[in-house]
Amino acid sequence: MHQMSSDMQTCIDECLRCYQTCLGMASNHCLPAGGKHVEPGHFRLMMACAEICRTSAHLMLIGTPEHKHTCRACAEVCEACARSCEQVGDMDDCVRQCRACAESCRKMAA
């Protein structure tokens, strides 16, 4: 297995937590809550955020240098998701985790 920096391991962990948080909140919070929680733009953004986080973690785990590209995109999507969740309200866990993931991904993309 390739040698992994502690920053990369931290980013993988943040991405996987964000994946779990966004997918879980979308499925178990937004769907039952309805209303603005399931507006198409917001819900799609949550799904996109979960997927780019999973993909970024995957590319770091397999050790490709292209992870920098997905991490850059991941940071942007996570920030957009955090803003959307903040506007919808009652989604503090998602906002917090998206921002933590975005910060970690920005470091990996540099």
Question: Could you report the per-residue pLDDT of 35-77, keeping only the tens digit for each?
Answer: 999 999 999 999 999 999 999 999 999 999 999 999 999 999 9
Domain encompassing residue 27? 6-109
CA 61 to CA 68: how far, in whole Å?
12
The pLDDT, as a whole number, for residue 1 is 45
CATH number at residue 63: 1.20.1270.360
Please report whether residue 10 resides in a domain.
Answer: yes
Q: Confirm whether 1 is domain-assigned.
A: no
Domain membership of residue 97 (yes or no) is yes
Give me the pLDDT at residue 68, please.
96
**Is residue 49 included in any domain, yes or no?**
yes
* DSSP 8-state secondary structure symbol assigned to residue 110: -
Domain total for the chain? 1
73 is a domain residue: yes
Q: What is the pLDDT of residue 2?
A: 54
C-alpha to C-alpha distance for 10 and 56, rounded to whole angstroms = 12
Structure token digits, residue 13: 């962990």
- 């309200």: which residue's tokens? 89
Instruction: Let me know if residue 30 belongs to a domain.
Output: yes
